[in-house]
A and B are shown apart, each in its own frame.
Chain A
Amino acid sequence: MNQGVSVAKIRRNGAFYVAESRIRQMSKWKGIITLVAVGNPLFYLVAIGIGIGILVTENSGTSGTGGVEYIVFIAPALLANTALLGAMDETVFPVMEGFKWRKMFYATNSTPITGPQIALGVFIAALVRVAFSVFLYWLFLIAFGVLSFQDSWMAAVVAMYGGAAFGALMMGVVAGVKKDDYFLTVLGRLVITPLFLFSGTFFPLTNMPIYLQPIGWISPLWHTTELGRYFGYGAEVSTTMLSVHFLFLTAMLVAGIKISNIRFANRLLK
Chain B
Amino acid sequence: MPESLISARGLTKKFGDFTAVDGIDFDVAKGESFGLLGPNGAGKSTTMRIIAATSRRTSGTISILGRDPEEHGPQVRAHLGVVPQQDNLDTELTVTENLYIYGRYFGLSKKFVNKKVEELLAFAQLEEKKDVKVEALSGGMKRRLTIARALVSEPDILMLDEPTTGLDPQARHILWDRLFRLKEDGVTLIITTHFMDEAEQLCDRLVVMDKGKIMAEGSPAELIKQYATREVLEVRFGSDRNKEVAPILREMCDRIEELPDRILLYVEDGEALLEKIVAKKLHPNTSLVRRSSLEDVFLRLTGRSLIE
Out of B73, B104, B154, name the residue touching A1 (CB < 8 Å): B154
**Binary B-proximity of A1-41 (CB < 8 A = 1, otherwise 0):** 11011110111011001101100110010000000000000
**Binary A-proximity of B59-90 (CB < 8 A = 1, otherwise 0):** 00000000000000111011110101010111
Q: Are A7 and B90 in contact (CB under 8 A)?
A: no
Kindly identify, within residues 128 to 151 of chain A, every residue whose CB is under 8 Å from any CB belonging to chain B.
Answer: none
Out of A18, A25, A110, name the residue touching B80 (CB < 8 Å): A110
List of A residues within 8 angstroms of B153 by Cβ: 1-2, 5, 111
Q: Are B77 and A102 in contact (CB under 8 A)?
A: no
CB distance from A94 to the nearest CB of B (A): 11
Q: CB of B186 within 8 A of chain A? A: no
List of B residues within 8 angstroms of A20 by Cβ: 101, 104
Q: Are B112 and A2 in contact (CB under 8 A)?
A: yes
CB distance from B72 to the nearest CB of A (A): 9
Q: CB of B18 within 8 A of chain A? A: no
Out of A5, A104, A109, name the residue touching B78 (CB < 8 Å): A5
- Size bracket, chain B contacts: 35 or more
Which of B36-44, B91-99, B202-210, B294-302 is near enough to bind chain A?
B91-99
List of A residues within 8 angstroms of B91 by Cβ: 102
**Binary B-proximity of A86-119 (CB < 8 A = 1, otherwise 0):** 0000000000000000111011111111100000
Q: Are A1 and B89 in contact (CB under 8 A)?
A: no
Q: Are A9 and B54 in contact (CB under 8 A)?
A: no
Q: Which residue of B lies closest to A121 (CB)?
A: B105
Q: CB of A268 within 8 A of chain B? A: yes
Between A and B, how many residue pairs show CB distances below 8 Å?
Answer: 106
Q: Are B54 and A109 in contact (CB under 8 A)?
A: yes
Q: Are B92 and A25 in contact (CB under 8 A)?
A: yes
How far is B80's CA from A9's CA once the two chains are assembled, in angstroms? 17
Chain A contributes a number of interface residues (CB within 8 A of B) equal to 33
Q: Which residue of A lies closest to B150 (CB)?
A: A110
List of A residues within 8 angstroms of B89 by Cβ: 104, 107
How far is B104's CA from A83's CA once the two chains are assembled, in angstroms? 29
Q: Which residue of A lies closest to B79 (CB)?
A: A1
Q: Are B54 and A106 in contact (CB under 8 A)?
A: yes
How far is B91's CA from A237's CA once the two chains are assembled, in angstroms? 49
Q: CB of B55 within 8 A of chain A? A: yes
CB distance from A172 to the nearest CB of B (A): 21
CB distance from B133 to the nearest CB of A (A): 9
Kindly identify, within residues 238 to 255 of chain A, every residue whose CB is under 8 Å from any CB belonging to chain B.
Answer: none
How far is B106's CA from A18's CA once the two chains are assembled, in angstroms? 11
List of A residues within 8 angstroms of B107 by Cβ: 4-7, 9-10, 13-14, 17, 112
How far is B78's CA from A233's CA once the two chains are assembled, in angstroms? 52
Out of A6, A104, A111, name the residue touching B77 (CB < 8 Å): A111
Q: Which residue of B lies closest to A270 (CB)?
A: B55
How far is B275's CA from A149's CA once the two chains are assembled, in angstroms? 99
Q: CB of A210 within 8 A of chain B? A: no
List of B residues within 8 angstroms of A14 by Cβ: 105, 107
List of B residues within 8 angstroms of A111 by Cβ: 77-78, 102, 105-106, 153
Q: CB of B109 within 8 A of chain A? A: yes
Q: Are A25 and B105 in contact (CB under 8 A)?
A: no
How far is B91's CA from A102's CA once the two chains are assembled, in angstroms? 8
Q: Are A270 and B54 in contact (CB under 8 A)?
A: yes
Question: Given that A4-B107, A13-B107 are contacting pairs, would A110 and B54 also be in contact in the complex, using a CB cutoff of 8 Å?
Answer: yes
Q: Are A110 and B84 in contact (CB under 8 A)?
A: yes
Q: Are A5 and B101 in contact (CB under 8 A)?
A: no
CB distance from A267 to the nearest CB of B (A): 11
Q: Are A28 and B77 in contact (CB under 8 A)?
A: no
Q: Are A269 and B54 in contact (CB under 8 A)?
A: yes
Q: CB of B218 within 8 A of chain A? A: no
Kindly identify, within residues 120 to 159 of chain B, every residue whose CB is under 8 Å from any CB belonging to chain A.
Answer: 149, 153-156
CB-defined A-B contacts under 8 Å, sample of 11: A1-B153, A2-B106, A2-B112, A5-B106, A17-B107, A106-B54, A106-B84, A107-B89, A110-B82, A112-B73, A270-B54
Closest A-B pairs by Cβ, 6 of them: A112-B74, A110-B82, A111-B105, A21-B101, A2-B154, A10-B107
